[in-house]
A and B are shown apart, each in its own frame.
Chain A
Amino acid sequence: MLDVRNLGFSRGKNILFEALNFSLTSSSAMRVTGSNGSGKTTLLRLLSGLSRPDQGMVCWRGESVTKNHSEFVKSVNFVGHDDGLKKQLTAAENLRFTLPLLGVSPSAKDVDLALDAAGLESVKNRPVMHLSAGQKRRVALSRLDFMSHRALWILDEPFTSLDVAAISSLAEKLNKHIESGGLVIFTTHQSFDMIPQAVSLVLD
């Protein structure tokens, strides 16, 4: 479903990668690792169509990602490095207002359930600026509960700032998505084996 052909990208004088080729079918995952500055975030942004490559192309279901971007994004769930949360709004409000942009309109009850399940029951109605880094990450990731209709999940450093319980909860969600046919691409600093099906890509 996802084909990357001859992908090349440079930032100024720095060649991040070139002639990158790989393919992913449904029910698969890929773990991208590499040191800081190796281009992990850039690769994810190229895969989601936010950036355009210098050479080569990214294809989703046979079509170039940049060609019909507005259609392609309906299959993409991108959770970036930043949490994408407005700090003056509460966790619940953040979800309630952002999810309609992504094609789902959950009820207030569904949002509460998702946040409770992420262990945020006590803080879900507090402005996000009062939450810790780990709590903010969990709010951002609780979106995933509503995103199963988008096949390609691209997650940048999803496990950062999470404690052990949250990590295994997230891994469970990812595995569930993979089992039901989805694709998951994520970056991580550390070595990682909680997603057994993940193919590994190392950038340097």
Chain B
Amino acid sequence: MHSAFLSLLRKELLLAFRQKTDVVTVLFFFLIVSSLFPLAVGPELSTLKIIGPGVIWVGALLCSLLALHRVFESDFNDGSLEHLVLSGEPLTILVIAKVLAHWLVTGLPVVIVAPLIGLQFGLSQASLVLLLGTLFLGTPVLSLIGSIGAALTLGVRGGAALTSILILPFYVPILIFGAGAVVADLQGLTIEGHLSVLLAMLCVSIALAPLAIASAIKIALE
């Protein structure tokens, strides 16, 4: 099982490395979308400081949605997805490998770049660190839950818009606690509660989301 998990993970990372455009596109989308807000509401730093955490978190959310089609779509189209289902290894474990690779390629870069964008919004150093931390805890959850939507909509017309409609309601709690932590900290409130909830969401989604994703994949292949 170990070798199957690792070789799948390595394969996915190698594939992403050979096709760097995917990662770069997502990062540029993040940058562009974040830049739209100062353009829309004006460059007053006082305003930007207030909306900054929310804007960056929503940007990260949208990036996650944008990148979701990468998880299973090409495997579905070229017949590799059948290999996962027919492999004999537990599908939930293989799914974790796929989602982990997906997060490393599309989620982690967003986490790393976010503080830079935070500077554009005039956020303090403490806020930037907190932003980094909440995104680090939250973006894997976005990948896990988002992958459920991606698996449910394999080969279905409606594409990204449909997946977004399905998944965004489930993203709301992560957004509330993720962005909320940074905002609460700015107001001088304690944020232990927020971080605990984010960590709990991460643990629960690692435990449960792969089950839903595996079922959805099997349904898509029937």
Q: Which residues of A contact B (CB under 8 A)?
A: 48, 50-52, 70, 73-74, 76, 78, 80-89, 93, 96-98, 100-103, 105, 127
Q: Which secondary structure characterizes the binding site on chain A?
A: loop
B118 smallest CB distance to A (angstroms): 34
> Which one of B10, B78, B94, B221 lies within 8 Å of A83 (CB-CB)?
B78
Q: Which residue of A lies closest to B3 (CB)?
A: A100
* Docked complex Cα distance between A96 and B85 (Å): 18
Chain A residue numbers with a CB within 8 Å of B94 are 101
Q: Does B101 sit at the interface, judged by CB under 8 A?
A: no
Q: Which secondary structure characterizes the binding site on chain B?
A: helix
Q: Does B196 sit at the interface, judged by CB under 8 A?
A: no
B72-109 with Cβ < 8 A to chain A: 74, 77-80, 82-91, 94
Chain A residue numbers with a CB within 8 Å of B79 are 80-84
Question: Among the interface residues B8, B14, B18, B80, which one has the most CB atoms of the partner chain A within 10 A?
Answer: B80
Q: Does B11 sit at the interface, judged by CB under 8 A?
A: yes
Q: State whether B18 touches A73 (Cβ < 8 A).
A: no
Q: Does B168 sit at the interface, judged by CB under 8 A?
A: no
Q: Which residue of A lies closest to B74 (CB)?
A: A86
Ranked nearest first, the 5 interchain pairs of A and B with the lowest CB-CB distance are A82-B79, A97-B11, A84-B79, A74-B88, A100-B7
Chain B residue numbers with a CB within 8 Å of A86 are 11, 15, 74, 78, 80
Q: Which residue of A lies closest to B19 (CB)?
A: A88
Q: State whether A82 touches B78 (Cβ < 8 A).
A: yes
Q: Which residues of B contact A (CB under 8 A)?
A: 3-4, 7-8, 10-11, 14-15, 18-19, 74, 77-80, 82-91, 94, 221-222
Q: State whether B80 touches A84 (Cβ < 8 A).
A: yes
Chain B residue numbers with a CB within 8 Å of A127 are 18
**Given A81-B79, A88-B18, A102-B83, is A73 in contact with B11 using a C-beta cutoff of 8 Å?**
no
A31 smallest CB distance to B (angstroms): 21
> Which one of B19, B74, B88 lies within 8 Å of A73 (CB-CB)?
B88
* Docked complex Cα distance between A81 and B82 (Å): 11
A/B interface sample: 9 pairs, CB < 8 A: A48-B86, A50-B85, A73-B86, A74-B88, A89-B11, A89-B15, A98-B80, A100-B3, A101-B7
A137 smallest CB distance to B (angstroms): 12
Question: Among the interface residues B7, B88, B94, which one has the most CB atoms of the partner chain A within 10 A?
Answer: B88
Q: Which residue of A lies closest to B81 (CB)?
A: A84
* Docked complex Cα distance between A102 and B3 (Å): 11
Chain B residue numbers with a CB within 8 Å of A80 are 79, 82
> Which one of A52, A84, A85 lies within 8 Å of B82 (CB-CB)?
A84
> Which one of B3, B18, B84, B221 lies within 8 Å of A89 (CB-CB)?
B18
Q: State whether B14 touches A101 (Cβ < 8 A).
A: no
Chain A residue numbers with a CB within 8 Å of B18 are 88-89, 127
Q: State whether A97 touches B87 (Cβ < 8 A).
A: no
Chain A residue numbers with a CB within 8 Å of B14 are 89, 93, 97
> Which one of A50, A93, A98 lies within 8 Å of B221 (CB-CB)?
A50
Q: State whether A88 touches B15 (Cβ < 8 A).
A: yes
* Docked complex Cα distance between A70 and B85 (Å): 9
Given A76-B86, A101-B4, 12 additional A-B pairs, CB 8 A: A48-B86, A50-B85, A50-B86, A83-B79, A85-B78, A89-B14, A93-B11, A98-B11, A100-B8, A101-B83, A102-B87, A127-B18
Chain B residue numbers with a CB within 8 Å of A52 are 222
Q: State whether B78 touches A87 (Cβ < 8 A).
A: yes
Q: State whether A97 touches B86 (Cβ < 8 A).
A: no
* Docked complex Cα distance between A77 and B61 (Å): 40
